[in-house]
Structure formats: C-alpha cells, structure tokens
Chain A
Amino acid sequence: MNPPTFTATPLVRRKLRQERLARAVLAGMVLAMVLPLAAIIAYLVVQGAPLISWSFLTQNPSNGMRAGGIWSALVGTIYLVVIALLVSAPVGVLCAVYLNEYARENWFTRLIHLAVVNLAGVPSIVHALFGLGAFVLFAGIGRSILAAALTLAIMTLPVVIASTKEALAAVPMSFREACWNVGASRWQTIWKVVLPNSISGILTGVILQVSRTAGETAPIMFTGAVFLKKIHDDTLFPYALTDQCMALSMHLYTVTTQVTNAPEALPYAIAVVLLGAVLLVNAAAILLRGLLRSRKKW
C-alpha cells in the first residue's frame, strides 16, 4: 500500500516553521519602520493643528516671529528648492550619462567615481562652508538666494549623479548592443533607448533630493537664509535672486532655539507645513513619472 502523499514529515514541519518565522520577522521589521514614522507625523499634526490655517500659510511672521504666519519662509523654501534642482538635476543627469555611457573605464574615471561617492557622504555643514567660501566670498555673489541655492545644488549633485548612474546601468547592455549593431551612434542609442527606459529611475533619484534640499538648514544658514524677512505678496516673484530669504527649515530652528515665548504649537505647525510641501512636490513628481511610464507603455 502506498503511504499518503501529504505526510507532515519532520523535514516538512521544519520548513513550515522556518517559513512562518521568516514571515513574522520580516513583517516585524516593516512595522518597526512604519510605526515610528506614523507616530512622528501624528504627533506633529496633533501638536501643530491649533495654529494651521490658511492665514498661517499666507501671512508674514509678526511680533518677533511669535505671531502671524510663515508666508515668507514658505516662499523662500520654494525658491531655494526650485533653483537648486534646476541646477543640480540637469548637470547631475548629464554628468551621469557621460560617466556611464561615454567614459572609458580607467584610473581617472574610477577616481571620479570615488569622488562622487565620497562627496555624497560629506556632511552638509562642510558644503555650507564651501558655499560660503566659493559663492558668497570668492564669486562675490554675497549672501543671497542664488548663493544658497547653488550651495544646495552642490550638495545634492553627487547623489543625483550616483542615483542616475544606477538607473542607467539598470538598462540591459543588450539593448545598447542591438542599437549599435544597426549603426546607431552612442547619442542615438542614449536618446532613443537608454534614457526613455531609465527616466523613471532617474526621476526617483531626483525626487528624493527635493526633500533633502527642502529640509537642510546648515548649507543655507551661512549663505543666504535670514531669521526674519517680510515680503509683499502682491508681486508674482516676491524675492529677487540677490535677496536673502527666510526658509522653513531655518525658521523652525529659529523659533525653537532663538525666540522666547513663542507659541508652543508654532514649531510643530512649521514642521507640518514643511512635510506637506515636500509631500506635495513628491506627489507631483510621482504623477509625472507615472505619466511618462504609461506613454512609453513600459
């Protein structure tokens, strides 16, 4: 007589046990990451809620930053992020295209690669000192939005290069060879096949830098951000590039450490707006990425 097919032998039982254990541990790790994140956001929103309103967003700070809103800081952050990205995204992406598609593998390109990876790990305060020396003093731009945005761009550049290189390297070599085999030049190959297939990866890398740019305080502290500056909201572009500006991250630092008797909810409200702004930009970029993907039917 044949034995029944599905007998739970010790081996099978051990495999099932391992399976359950692995699932539980991995799910636990996800919880360990999600719970604190949810807790932080919930705490910020609850604490900051009393202050958040439309007028909080659209009014200049007043009474020594103890009252009023955060309009000038919000606009300042938008200025800094947009200008920094306008510089770092194109330069970084084109740089990565050259390094990944054109440059030959030799000691020099390996050195560049090493430099890029190391620069990505340099603390932002070091970039701040570089920005102060190079843009504010040496180039004579002075403390301004331009100098601060350029400093932020320099800070994000290596990360954009590294992530773009990853995205380009993920496009199979066989695609490139197929193009070369029919007589396409390197640029035709890059433009028609490599870039369309790596654009979503490239965008992801750039999107991640938006939040970093918006959140950093150190690089803009020395190069163009001020404690308090009121702007008039009746013009389309309230800041000039040579102006100094307020920024949300800096404002948060100021009201928590420099201003006495500020309302307790104020720092939390600023943090919520900062988070919301970053979220908004990310959502827009993700939407754009989805659009590009569907058009390519990838």
Chain B
Amino acid sequence: MVTPTPKISVENLRLSYGHKEVLHGVSFAIAPNEILAVIGPAQSGKTSLLRCINRTVEFTPGAVMSGTVRVDGEDLMRMADVYGLRRRIGMVAPLPVGLPLTIYDNVAFAPRCAGLTAKAELDARVETCLRQAALWDEVKDRLDSLGTKLSGGQQQRLTIARALSHDPEILCLDEFSIAIDPVTTMRIEDVLQELRAHVTIVLVTNLTQQARRLADRTMFLWNGDIVEMADTDVIFGDTPRDRRTFDYVNGVFG
C-alpha cells in the first residue's frame, strides 16, 4: 500500500506538553488520495497528531515535538513557509468555529489571506466550498449575515467550507460530525468520497461505523501509541492482529 513517495510520512513522532508525553514515537505513512481513519478513545493523542501535521501545535506553550513528519517527502520542520504548508492542509476542528465575520468573509478569509482579491474568483470559490459543505442552499440568500449567528450544525459545515476554501491537498477532519444531523453527515461523507480524487484525507472519528464506511485504512491509536494500523476490513474484521483492536471496535473496551 505504501508507495515510494507517501503523501504524509511520520517517523518516530514524539510530542509532549510540558512533562506529559502524549505521543510516544508513532510512525506511519499515508498514500496520496487515501482516506485514513484514526480511531481511539479520548486522550489517545488523535487531535495532537493532526496538530503536528499542520504545525499548529507550535502555538501551544510548552509543546515539544521530535521525530520527522514529511509532506510529499519534505521535512516539515525544515519548511521555511509554514503558512504555505497550512494552506496545503485543510483542518476541521471538532467544535464549530464560526469566525465573527459574515458567512461570505468566513469562507473568503483564507483565499484573501493568501492574496486573492478578484471579486469574481472569490465569489466562485465561496459558492463551490459552501456547496461542498452542503450549506449553500441554506445560506445563499444571506451570505452577508454573521457566521456566528448560524446554528451549531450550520457553523460546523461553515468550518468545513472554510477548510476547503484554500483548495487543500490534505484534509484533516477531527470529529467533524458531532454537531451535524445524520442526513447532512451522509451528504458530507458523499462529498468526501468525491474529494478523494484529488485530496488525501485524515479522518479522526469516534464513530467507528463512519471509519468503516469511508476509510481505506484505519489506525487504532491508544494512549499515544499505534496499536494497529491496517486495511479497514482487517481492523473491523474478526481477526485484527491485536486483541485490543477487536475489543475497541466491538465496544467491549474497558
């Protein structure tokens, strides 16, 4: 499965906040256009892992990261343009964050930060992203109202639209569906299936069924270590390599 140049490759990644180590040297690789699901109980380091990939973990005081993370073979820590890196990665946080700007400005924020100013181009980008996030029909008549006034589920889809707005090569979704109803969740999952044609997706989820539906491979992360990472069929099958994986996906985990 692992191709000569993986989209993301992680070697012996360790991360600690102060004296507490939350990732104990994990290594894995993600192929281009793959959907990788990351499952695991709370406090297992799933979110921290995503924050290492786009280097926003650096904003946390006391966070110390070691090991190497490569995107397209390029060492993350040696990249001069960290903003350019983050523009290649779309990140969706578990709790919806509507910036206190208009709906339009929320989505146009990233393209504008990257220097795009042409009105027509911005308009097209905003519409495409809102459609992909299954939000366009609900907000197309009030694009200039405040993003923070939307409902929780709408704000979450706004967050997804914003994560797509800078046309990322990698999309990291952290529990994107906790604030969204099942029907909309399915619509977004369909969009993810379409996006995989040109995007690599890392999907952190507590819904094991979601991982099963979408992912090519699944990683079971527990207490900062990878217990098992294999094809989704294997992880959810009757004979995963590790007993704990079987227990977790079947809900008998203590």
Contacts and interface: CB of A to CB of B under 8 A. Distances in A.
Interface string A175-198: 111111111110010001100110
B99 A184 contact: no
Nearest to B85: A183
B113 A188 contact: yes
B100 A182 contact: no
In terms of DSSP, what is the predominant structure of the interface of chain B? mixed
A295 interface: no
Given A104-B61, A178-B93, A178-B159, A183 B86 contact: yes
Contacts of B99: 175, 178-179, 193
Nearest to B82: A183
Contacts of B162: 178, 182
A138 interface: no
Contacts of A178: 93, 97, 99, 159, 162
B125 interface: no
In terms of DSSP, what is the predominant structure of the interface of chain A? helix
Given A183-B86, A183-B166, A192-B109, A174 B95 contact: yes
Nearest to A197: B100
Interface string B50-83: 0000101001011000000000000000000001
A189 B54 CA distance: 17
A105 B63 CA distance: 12
Interface residues on B, range: 20 to 34
Contacts of B102: 297
Contacts of B95: 174
Contacts of B109: 179, 182, 184, 192
Interface of B: 54, 56, 59, 61-62, 83-87, 90-91, 93, 95, 97, 99-102, 109-110, 113-114, 146, 159, 162-163, 165-166
Contact of A174 (B84, B93, B101, B163): B93
A180 B159 contact: no
Given A177-B59, A178-B159, A197-B100, A183 B93 contact: no
A296 B102 CA distance: 9
B113 A183 contact: yes
B103 to A, nearest CB: 12
Contact of A298 (B91, B97, B100, B165): B100
Given A104-B61, A180-B56, A184-B109, A175 B100 contact: yes
Interface of A: 104-105, 174-185, 188, 192-193, 196-197, 296-298
A297 B146 contact: yes
A193 B106 CA distance: 11
A176 B165 CA distance: 17
Contact of B97 (A104, A177, A183): A177
Nearest to A298: B100
Q: Please name the 9 residue pairs, one residue from A and one from B, whose CB atoms are nearest each other, closest first.
A: A182-B110, A183-B87, A183-B86, A181-B91, A178-B97, A184-B113, A183-B83, A174-B97, A105-B61
A184 B83 contact: yes
B65 to A, nearest CB: 15
A76 to B, nearest CB: 42
B76 to A, nearest CB: 14
A19 to B, nearest CB: 33
B166 A182 contact: yes
Contacts of A175: 97, 99-100
A182 B101 CA distance: 15
A197 B90 CA distance: 24
A181 B113 contact: no
Nearest to A188: B113
Nearest to B149: A297
